[in-house]
Amino acid sequence: MLPELDVGDWLYYEDMGAYTLSMATIFNGLDATAIKYHCLEELCGDETSTIVILIEMNVLLTFLSKRAFTEQILKQYFGKLDTVNTMKKRLTDRCVVDLHPERRSTHEIIQNVVSEKQRKGDDDRFVVCDVGDIIQKFQHWVTLMPRIKLFYAVKCNTDEALLQVLSDMGASFDCASKKEIEAVLNLGVSPTRIVYAHPCKPVSSLNFAKSRDVSLMTFDNVNELQKVKETYPSARLLLRLLPEKEFNARLEFSGRYGCSSTEVRYILQTAKDLELNIFGVSFHVGSDIQDPRAYVSILQQSRSVFDIARRMGFNMNILDIGGGFPGEQNTFERFKEITEVINKTLLDLFLPEDNVEIIAEPGRYIAASAFTVVASIMSKRCYQSSADGDVNGQDSAQLKRNVATYFLNDSVFGNFMYGRLYMPGSVIHIPKVVKVRVLFS
């Protein structure tokens, strides 16, 4: 339950990093929300605690604390280790980051920002981003699924600092459009670290991908193959599969993209006739999958497509397991359970000696918990509820209650668009409160 609030109080909504900022519109003249970045200093390293790694294309990547990772895992994941540098510098060059030597709660950070804004007479909404949370998510991924290379799904949250940090840590990227590819390449990321993961692409974007050597891409139908033949015949193609069995996900995709098992042979034969290169398979189980068995089922499907394609002579060596992992606070146990199921299933179906590179496209997992939306109460309307009728012997006069409607300076056309588009009627989160009176008393 919320306490009674006043105009000028602030509410904050946690776990707002996934599909929020990137979906916000400019309806009603809304501005882009200012983002306050903060990070526990030791997480983004210093000269002595940072490992910098050099991977293909001479791209320098800064990395994290030696305490958290062994060099062995880093080598396995990225390649050769090289000179020392800091992620901190690159990050702070890009945006203002409040680096704190000791852990600070989101509440405390927000209280500080709010009191600063109050002093300036500024009541604009803002977003707080905990960069350290992103870093730790990446660390957990590498530790729990060292065999699966992380291609962050850019559509989930396109924040520049988020992309920079991921790039510095050696992540790769799932881009769904020309603009997303441009944004990632502008960070200095090698095109070999991008999968163009939209199965249906405009010809102009295919031409663009070709001009930038972004060759790995997904597709799910023969018309797409014709386009690729005409624009980018050397592209490395991943056939996106439609999951045969449905498992409950917060956001279902199964009907929209992916070819069914009955279409596989025909599509592969068309690719063969067109002399195109199918390198592997991709799928996406839907966002925030609730049941880890979803991965078992589609991995079995993938295995049989690998076998069919290899028998047809394709050099199948990439398996893209898409996204779907939970990323909100308190979902770590569920995430861990999913990783255990995936690791075990991969060991059964794709033996390491099979030399299949396994990649994934998590979005929500990386972004959700790092961002908190903070809005202020710009107006309040008080009235008596108009409950009618006689309930349990009480007359309507007794049922009338004092009610307050609060008006925030954010909206479903701003950072709350995701809830409106995909989960009509659902409540996003119970917000937490920063009372201005308490701050200034």
Give the residue numbers marked as catalytic: 155, 284, 361
Looking at 49-57, 97-105, 359-367, 398-406, which segment touches ligand PLP (CB under 6 A)?
359-367
Asked if 174 touches ligand PLP (CB under 6 A), the answer is yes
Asked if 364 touches ligand PLP (CB under 6 A), the answer is yes
Subset of residues 260 to 299 that bind ligand PLP, contact rule: CB under 6 A:
284, 287-288
Asked if 363 touches ligand PLP (CB under 6 A), the answer is yes
Report the 10 Å Cβ neighbour count for 234. Answer: 10
Q: CA-based angle 368:31:327, to the nearest 5?
A: 0
- Strands (E) in 354-400, as ranges, are 357-360, 371-384
For ligand PLP, the closer of residues 168 and 180 by Cβ is: 180
For ligand PLP, the closer of residues 88 and 364 by Cβ is: 364
Taking CB under 6 A as the criterion, the residue among 197, 206, 214, 241 binding ligand PLP is: 197
Name the helix (H) or strand (E) containing 129.
strand 126-130
Q: In the bound complex, what is the minimum distance in angstroms from residue 325's beta carbon to ligand PLP? A: 6
Beta bridge partners of residue 173, listed in sequence order: 152, 194
- Strands (E) in 236-370, as ranges, are 236-240, 249-251, 277-282, 287-289, 318-320, 357-360
CB-based contact 241:219 (threshold 8 Å) = no
For ligand PLP, the closer of residues 362 and 431 by Cβ is: 362
For ligand PLP, the closer of residues 10 and 141 by Cβ is: 141
Taking CB under 6 A as the criterion, the residue among 132, 292, 323, 431 binding ligand PLP is: 323
Subset of residues 399 to 428 that bind ligand PLP, contact rule: CB under 6 A:
none
Q: In the bound complex, what is the minimum distance in angstroms from residue 418's beta carbon to ligand PLP? A: 11
Taking CB under 6 A as the criterion, the residue among 87, 127, 156, 171 binding ligand PLP is: 156
Task: Report which of 365, 359, 295 is spatially closest to residue 326, judged by C-alpha positions.
Answer: 365
Quick one: 89 exposed, middle or buried, by C-beta within 10 A (0-12, 13-18, 19+)?
middle
For ligand PLP, the closer of residues 363 and 419 by Cβ is: 363
Q: CA-based angle 412:197:200, to the nearest 5?
A: 85
Asked if 45 touches ligand PLP (CB under 6 A), the answer is no
Residue nearest to ligand PLP (CB): 323
> Tokens at residue 178, please?
């020309």
Taking CB under 6 A as the criterion, the residue among 361, 373, 406, 414 binding ligand PLP is: 361
Q: In the bound complex, what is the minimum distance in angstroms from residue 195's beta carbon to ligand PLP? A: 9
Which residues are CB-contacts of 175 (< 8 A; sequence separation ≥ 6)?
154, 181, 183, 184, 194, 195, 196, 197, 214
* Residue 326 to residues 27, 167, 250, Cα–Cα distance (Å): 30, 21, 10
Size of the site for ligand PLP (CB under 6 A): 17
For ligand PLP, the closer of residues 74 and 281 by Cβ is: 281
For ligand PLP, the closer of residues 208 and 253 by Cβ is: 253
Q: In the bound complex, what is the minimum distance in angstroms from residue 197's beta carbon to ligand PLP? A: 5
Q: In the bound complex, what is the minimum distance in angstroms from residue 363's beta carbon to ligand PLP? A: 3
Looking at 47-55, 104-112, 180-188, 321-329, which segment touches ligand PLP (CB under 6 A)?
321-329
Q: In the bound complex, what is the minimum distance in angstroms from residue 299's beta carbon to ligand PLP? A: 16
Which residues are CB-contacts of 219 (< 8 A; sequence separation ≥ 6)?
199, 200, 225, 228, 237, 238, 239, 240
Alpha-helical runs (H) found in 121-177 = 131-144, 160-169
Q: In the bound complex, what is the minimum distance in angstroms from residue 278's beta carbon to ligand PLP? A: 18
Tell me the C-alpha distance between 57 and 152, whole Å: 20
Task: Report which of 18, 17, 74, 69 is spatially closest to residue 43, judged by C-alpha positions.
Answer: 69
Asked if 258 touches ligand PLP (CB under 6 A), the answer is no
Residues that bind ligand PLP (CB under 6 A): 18, 153, 156, 174, 197, 284, 287-288, 322-325, 361-365
